[in-house]
Amino acid sequence: MPTLTSSTDRHCERSLQSPGLSTTRPDDRCPVCGDERYTPVIVQYGYRYVRCASCRAVFVSPMPAEAALAAHYQAAGYFSGDEALGYRCYADMHKALAPHFRRRLTVLGRALGQPGRLLDFGCADGFFLQCARGLGWQIAGIELARQMADHASQRLGIAIASSLEAAAERDLDAITLWEVVEHLPQPLAILERLADRLRSGGALMLSTPNAGHWQAVQEPTTWPGYRPPSHLALHTAGSLGRALAAAGLERITVRGAAPLPHLPGWLRRASAPLERSLADGQARPWPIALAAWRAIRLFGWAWHRVAHPYEEFFATLEALAFRPRGGV
């Protein structure tokens, strides 16, 4: 594991209060493993990120209050129009998300033998569920943001629950969380409750930013994963596997996805607009832009292996885990 590059004590002593969002009392215990030992990482927009000395997860301390978080996700600009708050336009990202969703559904289908009953926790506008239904899955969704839940309901013609408590589905074949677990102030508690909704042998699959990625460790000020108050608890491969095991799941696989190599500085600066436009679904013409980025990434992979062989290459983690057969 590369040595952590921490922010200075002066930065860590800056105000932890962000305008419009109240915080809870300071609680420096890791939300994954409970350890109280940590290393300061960065203060971003008035929120302090620290890295757990035990499991290496990164989390905000102190956490925002639950009521403030709920209001944050109900803001009109979160999914469209306010990039600093959330997304420039989530709907434009469908083109970039579609191949990842199809691949993940293929992995799930192979793991379970056939499509079954699927719940997407944090389903946004329902695009993933639409893809799943097209491949034979019986779908259900949960989305906290009311505006997006309404979009999902209109898209799919089904009711979308606003919370886990409001969702009736149990004995599910699969539960998915795509770029969601990092938004949870208490991720372990939610993972435990979701695991309890699975049938015996059912699968939980998720994706999340990789807090062990070279950029998160060496250049925290430029890493897009440090995005408070949206991103509260960020995982390494080790901490994610530990959390899933603590939630009562087994046969856990954590793999890297979305390779983002450590490019030479000049190439990083030159390719940054292209990378961002692809991530936001704004690149035009799309096939040419995608081909150009793949060529840059191929060169970057070779460069990374030679110049930075011990740094983590993948920007995203994907995990697949199963409820024990016979239940718990």
- In this prediction, what percent of the chain has a pLDDT beyond 70? 80
Q: Where are the alpha helices (DSSP H) in 48-126?
A: 66-74, 94-112
- Residue 18: the pLDDT is 38
Q: State the pLDDT confidence band at 213, using cuts at 50, 70 and 90.
A: very high
| pLDDT tens per residue, range 176-202 | 999 999 999 999 999 999 999 999 999
**Tokens describing residue 93:** 């990202």
Q: Which amino acid is at 148?
A: M
65 vs 324, residue with greater confidence: 324
Distance in angstroms (rounded) separating the CA atoms of residues 131 and 136: 9
The residue ranges of DSSP E strands in the chain, in sequence order, are 38-44, 47-52, 58-60, 117-121, 138-142, 172-178, 198-209, 233-234, 250-259, 314-322
Lowest mean pLDDT among 47-61, 149-163, 293-307: 293-307
Q: What is the mean pLDDT of residues 115-135?
A: 96
Can you give the residue ranges of every domain in the chain? 265-307
- Residue 5: the pLDDT is 30
47 touches 228 (CB < 8 A):
yes
In this predicted structure, the answer to whether residue 7 has a pLDDT above a threshold of 80 is no
**CA distances (Å), 77 to each of 49, 81, 90, 93, 153, in order?**
24, 5, 11, 16, 19
| pLDDT tens per residue, range 219-270 | 899 898 999 899 999 999 999 999 999 999 999 999 998 777 666 677 777 7
51 touches 238 (CB < 8 A):
no
Lowest mean pLDDT among 23-27, 78-82, 247-251: 23-27
Is 284 exposed, middle or buried (CB count within 10 Å of its CB: 0-12, 13-18, 19+)? Answer: exposed
Return the ∠ at Cα 110 (arms to 247 and 155), rounded to 5°.
80
Distance in angstroms (rounded) separating the CA atoms of residues 161 and 173: 18
DSSP label at residue 8: P
| pLDDT tens per residue, range 63-75 | 988 888 877 777 6
Q: What is the mean pLDDT of residues 122-149?
A: 94
Q: State the pLDDT confidence band at 327, using cuts at 50, 70 and 90.
A: low
